[in-house]
Amino acid sequence: MANDKQLEFLQTCEAALLDGTFKRAVFNSRAEDGKKFRASFDLLVGGKKNFITYADNNSAESRRLELDGKSLLEMMAAPPITPFRTGLLCTSSFDLHYSENRKLQPRLYRSKASMKNVDQQHNRAKNYVLDSKRPYLQGLGVTNAKGDVVKKHYGKFRQIANFVEIIDRDIGTFVTEAKDPISMLDLGCGKGYLTFATYDYIRSRAQVEPRARGIDIKTNVIDLCNNLAGNLNFTGLEFQNVRIQPKTPQDVDILIALHACDTATDDALALGLRSNTQYFFCAPCCQAEIAAQISTSNSDFDLVNRFALMKRRQADIITDVCRALLLQSFGYDVKFLEFTALEHTSKNVMLAGRRDASVDREKAYADYLQLKQSAGFSHHALEENTADLRANSAA
């Protein structure tokens, strides 16, 4: 049964649906088995008719619902959504937040409208939706012969779908307007889930066949991926059993490096900088380098460092912020994204960027040096891997 604050939240959802200001609603609750349940309702504006897309973490794909305030409210107010632990309502005028503390005491508050200027047009020509019937998904075992997602691979499918949405937003225009073949490199590609997804996305939209490579040190996955690429007639895609060479420039427009362990992430980013890549998508993993250096620091962070778990988490954040600042210092516009839901992987932060001449390089590098001094570490792999590039740019 909903409490008073939850009822007020649901009533505000209903009012927003009725007066046309509704943008999005997200609920987080707990199912009877104690597992986390997440559901979201998003408005999409169509040519003749608006509708709502509904998604939850028990389903591989979202589904469309009629924009009917009464029936939608009935869904929101019933299990497994209600009673919910947290809720977020986005309208064109304000955001409404519901949360509970450790004692399950509810809180309801408003903030500025985060989606006020978000385009929610449903445009088939522009919005790429991952089709579960894409042949490479079956070849990789994510879907069956009918194109249905295999239950145990729902998480992997959603991860791929989320990544496709990210690249569609970030490189969509570049892909459709490029006159020359687009080159893509996936470092530490593993079984090639995202290599195939990115190649398939570019190939379906580019004017000419792209050139793509995935590299990994595991021979068995390389053979599997090359065989699948051949079977699908993906003539511009190949996989190689080699290591990352951070100081050897490559012909690459789009660089991908997901979950490259510790300083392998820095090797990948250094390679991207040397290659003057236009876009990169990187999900760092196992950031240990900085954590080992700040253990005996006399920095402002020592109050945090006395707690081992918090020190490690802080070191992860410092490591990735340093990467962002160093990338900015070489002329990249950088942002952090949630790559996929936390229930699939705790390593859900993606560092994405594009080359941008307007970035203030000098300020970014000065900020990096300041953070380096404050955090109390002496070296960072990405800084060392690109020292000669910095020296050449300063000459």
pLDDT in the model for residue 199: 96
Q: Are 340 and 329 in contact (CB under 8 A)?
A: no
pLDDT in the model for residue 343: 42
Structure tokens at 75: 């869904």
Instruction: State which H helix or E strand residue 112 sits in.
Output: strand 106-112
Q: Are 212 and 136 in contact (CB under 8 A)?
A: no
- Asked whether the whole model's pTM tops 0.75, one would answer no
Q: Are 39 and 83 in contact (CB under 8 A)?
A: no
DSSP assignment letter at 35: -
Residue 337 dihedral angles phi and psi, to the nearest 5°: -130, 155
pLDDT in the model for residue 344: 43
Domains of the chain (ranges, CATH numbers): 4-112 (no CATH), 135-394 (3.40.50.150)
Q: CA-based angle 274:280:285, to the nearest 5?
A: 100
| Euclidean distance between CA atoms 108 and 92, whole angstroms | 18
pLDDT in the model for residue 120: 60
pLDDT in the model for residue 136: 95
Cα–Cα distances in Å, from 274 out to 198, 200, 267, 354?
22, 26, 11, 14
pLDDT digit string (tens) for the chain, length 395 residues: 789 999 999 999 999 998 889 999 999 887 666 677 888 998 887 656 778 888 887 775 678 888 777 789 999 999 889 999 899 999 999 999 999 887 889 999 999 888 876 656 554 333 445 888 899 999 999 999 988 999 889 888 888 988 998 898 899 889 988 889 999 999 989 899 999 999 999 998 888 999 999 999 888 899 999 999 999 999 999 999 988 887 888 899 999 998 766 577 888 999 999 999 999 999 887 667 777 777 655 566 677 777 878 878 888 888 889 999 999 999 999 998 877 543 444 457 889 999 999 999 999 999 999 998 888 888 888 899 888 888 887 65
